[in-house]
């Protein structure tokens, strides 16, 4: 039955099967990966949260420590003589000094709303006790804490469900002598207000432990049983992050110590927090998969329709070809088999058109060459407009300069007239290297006069090569650039060197200058070397293009920097004669 099904239906059924399989596989893998990522992100967030919480709680303890220290200092109880008087009078309730001490201690309790009672113990275990109103814990409970082998640093101890104690060593502020301990009882609200603000929707349970890992405070009393279970089964020193099961429920806890070690903070997270997020994720994946499935079905429907439509077009064009219409084309832009058939079909019908296009392009090439020839003639015509008028004006300037005795202007005028005569009257495309160098001498002479001999010219010319044929004006733009962009940019004496020699049987011309150079323009050099230059504003590109046009791509001009000199090198064939008929024409190389 499947064999009798049309291609469109076959493709559609195949697409549906593949799409459903891919969506299910991707969805399940994505769910597993994302669930693990959610757990990692949650635990990472919990770690950062505990770090911040431990800093906040420890900062609160530090503030309380500072307040209690200042209160003890202000009451002068941190002075050994005053402290000793208090302890010696503690049994005599009617003594006047003791009453004064009681007032001082009462003011300390009244200075903080969370303080309930205080007890002071000297080194001989004599105690002084005072309670705020009737809410303080018993003297015996504080006494048990003070006798618990305390070290000489501040510690926290839990008294009962409603209160805890902060125990501080008492040091004589005058001689740093250790004189005893003081224990202050604080209500649990001191920590609970901080913890309750930090809990996330009541789902996390925050536990505070002392340095011995004994409970100080928690957001939920049910955490006490879990704390005992965790302490019995896991080592919670250091930074710990573990998952466990307690009373049939899954939990995750992580714990760490505060920066100064006053307390340890523990976060107990029910696993359902993660599972609920995973269920939401699964629901989102299912809806997204359904949407993708519908979109994919629509795409498959359109795609299969496109394939069958292309096949219909192919059949129609074949019928036109069978009737002798060789100009018909199939416009199917696909890379499948149908597209390949269409390409071969178009290739067959294009064979006839290829000859017509070849003739047409040849005609365009001829028209372009004619247009360029006309432009060259027009440029030459513009250059020759009324040269006699220019000569007469320059001759007049020369005569006036001689009459006034200004030999410099007279010399400049004569050189300029000779340059113009060489430029306007000689229309040869190729000249001898000797003539080109003679023209350069006149040009440099003019420039030196105009710049008051700011630079000198050196030549290293192989005289055997003076009979070589070179394109006219091949050196002038390069020499002008050496002056304009190099010599004119410095204040010291400039040097221009012109070299001519054979290099691998080719004629090599070099122009070097010690001007500012291009050492700071590395980007320009890179562009020239890679052939990506556009408008360098130094005339070198036009010379390079001209040489490649005349002789081929293996010849041209390049710009380099060598030993404090900017160097332009021109490479061209060494030619001593020109074929008949090419004296004023252009010789194009096929290389």
pLDDT tens figures, 388-439: 555 555 655 656 666 766 666 666 666 666 666 666 556 678 889 998 998 8
Kindly state the average pLDDT of the residues 509-513. Answer: 93
Share of the chain above pLDDT 90, in %: 8
The dihedral sign for the CA sequence 181, 186, 190, 191? positive
Kindly state the average pLDDT of the residues 105-134. Answer: 80
pLDDT of residue 235: 85
204 part of a folded domain: yes
Q: Is the pLDDT of residue 201 over 60?
A: no
pLDDT of residue 123: 83
Query: For residues 185 and 36, is the Cβ–Cβ distance under 8 A?
Result: no
Domain end point (choices 248, 273, 298): 273
Q: DSSP letters along 552-590, please?
A: -TT-EEEEEEETTEEEEEEEEE--S---TT-SSS-----
CA 211 → CA 189, 217, 228, 282, distances in Å?
20, 13, 16, 43
Which range of residues forms the domain containing residue 513? 459-465+474-573
Provide the pLDDT confidence category of residue 528 given band limits of 50, 70 and 90.
low
pLDDT of residue 488: 86
**pLDDT digits over 342-399, tens only?**
777 777 777 766 665 676 677 777 767 666 654 554 454 444 445 555 555 565 565 6
328 part of a folded domain: no
Q: What is the pTM of this model?
A: 0.41
**pLDDT digits over 108-121, tens only?**
888 778 888 888 88
Domain end point (choices 273, 296, 316): 273
Say which DSSP state 200 is in: S
Query: Phi and psi at residue 301, in whole multiples of 5°?
Result: -60, -45
**pLDDT digits over 5-42, tens only?**
566 666 667 767 777 777 777 767 766 676 666 667 77
pLDDT of residue 239: 82
Tokens encoding 72: 């003890």
Q: What is the CA radius of gyration of the chain?
A: 50
Kindly state the average pLDDT of the residues 73-97. Answer: 78
pLDDT of residue 294: 80
Q: Is the pLDDT of residue 494 over 70?
A: yes
Provide the pLDDT confidence category of residue 467 given band limits of 50, 70 and 90.
very high
pLDDT of residue 583: 47
Instruction: Say how many domains are in the chain.
Output: 2
363 part of a folded domain: no
Position with higher pLDDT, 215 vs 203: 215
- Residue 209: in which H helix or E strand, if any? strand 205-209
Provide the pLDDT confidence category of residue 512 given band limits of 50, 70 and 90.
very high
pLDDT of residue 464: 92
CA distance 419 to 415: 6
139 part of a folded domain: yes
Coil vs helix vs strand at 460: strand
Provide the pLDDT confidence category of residue 503 given band limits of 50, 70 and 90.
very high
CA distance 115 to 184: 7
Provide the pLDDT confidence category of residue 161 given band limits of 50, 70 and 90.
confident
Domain end point (choices 273, 302, 328): 273
CATH code of residue 513: 3.30.565.10
């Amino acid at each position: 039955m499947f064999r009798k099904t049309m291609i469109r239906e076959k493709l559609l059924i195949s697409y549906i099967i593949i799409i459903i399989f891919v969506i299910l596989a991707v969805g399940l893998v994505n769910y597993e990966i994302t669930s693990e990522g959610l757990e990692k992100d949650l635990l990472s967030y919990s770690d950062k949260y505990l770090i911040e919480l431990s800093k906040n709680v420890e900062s609160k303890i530090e503030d309380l420590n500072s307040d209690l220290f200042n209160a003890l200092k202000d009451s002068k109880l941190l002075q050994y003589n005053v402290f000793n008087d208090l302890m010696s009078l503690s049994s005599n309730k009617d003594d006047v000094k003791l009453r004064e001490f009681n007032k001082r201690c009462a003011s300390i309790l009244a200075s903080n709303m969370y303080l309930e009672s205080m007890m002071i113990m000297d080194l001989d275990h004599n105690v002084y006790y005072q309670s705020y109103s009737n809410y303080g814990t018993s003297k015996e409970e504080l006494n048990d804490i003070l006798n618990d082998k305390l070290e000489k640093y501040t510690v926290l101890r839990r008294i009962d469900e409603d209160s805890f104690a902060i125990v501080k060593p008492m040091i004589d502020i005058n001689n740093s002598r250790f004189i005893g301990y003081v224990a202050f009882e604080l209500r649990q609200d001191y920590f609970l207000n901080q913890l309750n603000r930090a809990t996330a929707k009541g789902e996390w349970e925050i536990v505070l432990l002392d340095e011995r890992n004994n409970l100080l405070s928690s957001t939920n009393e049910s955490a006490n049983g879990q704390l005992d279970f965790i302490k019995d089964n896991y080592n919670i020193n250091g930074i710990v992050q573990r998952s466990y099961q307690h009373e049939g429920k899954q939990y995750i806890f992580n714990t760490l110590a505060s920066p100064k070690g006053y307390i340890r903070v523990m976060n107990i997270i029910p696993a359902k927090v993660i599972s609920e997020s995973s269920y939401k994720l699964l629901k989102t994946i299912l809806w997204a998969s359904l949407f993708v499935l519908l979109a994919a079905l629509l795409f498959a429907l359109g795609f299969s329709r496109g394939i069958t439509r292309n096949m219909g077009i192919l059949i129609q064009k074949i019928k036109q070809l069978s009737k002798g219409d060789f100009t018909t084309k199939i416009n199917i832009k696909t890379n499948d088999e149908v597209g390949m058939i269409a390409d071969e079909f178009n290739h067959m019908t294009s064979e006839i058109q290829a000859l017509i296009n070849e003739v047409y392009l040849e005609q365009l090439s001829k028209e372009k060459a004619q247009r360029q020839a006309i432009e060259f003639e027009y440029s030459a015509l513009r250059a020759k407009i009324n040269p006699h008028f220019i000569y007469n004006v320059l001759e007049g300037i020369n005569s006036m300069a001689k009459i006034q005795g200004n030999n410099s202007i007279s010399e400049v005028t004569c050189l300029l007239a000779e340059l113009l005569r060489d430029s306007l009257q000689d229309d040869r495309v190729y000249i001898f290297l000797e003539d080109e160098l003679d023209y350069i001498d006149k040009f440099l002479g003019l420039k030196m006069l105009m710049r008051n001999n700011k630079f000198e010219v050196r030549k290293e010319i192989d005289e055997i090569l003076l009979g070589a044929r070179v394109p006219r004006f091949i050196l002038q733009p390069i020499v002008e650039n050496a002056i304009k962009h190099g010599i004119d940019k410095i204040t010291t004496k400039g040097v221009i060197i012109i070299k001519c020699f054979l290099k691998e049987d080719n004629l090599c011309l070099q122009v070097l200058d010690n001007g500012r150079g291009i050492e700071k323009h590395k980007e320009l050099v890179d562009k020239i070397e890679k052939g990506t230059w556009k408008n360098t504003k130094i005339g070198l590109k036009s010379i390079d293009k001209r040489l490649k046009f005349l002789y081929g791509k293996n010849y041209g001009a390049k710009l380099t920097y060598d030993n404090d000199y900017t160097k332009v090198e021109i490479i061209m064939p060494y030619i001593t004669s020109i074929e008949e008929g090419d004296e004023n024409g252009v010789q194009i190389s096929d290389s």
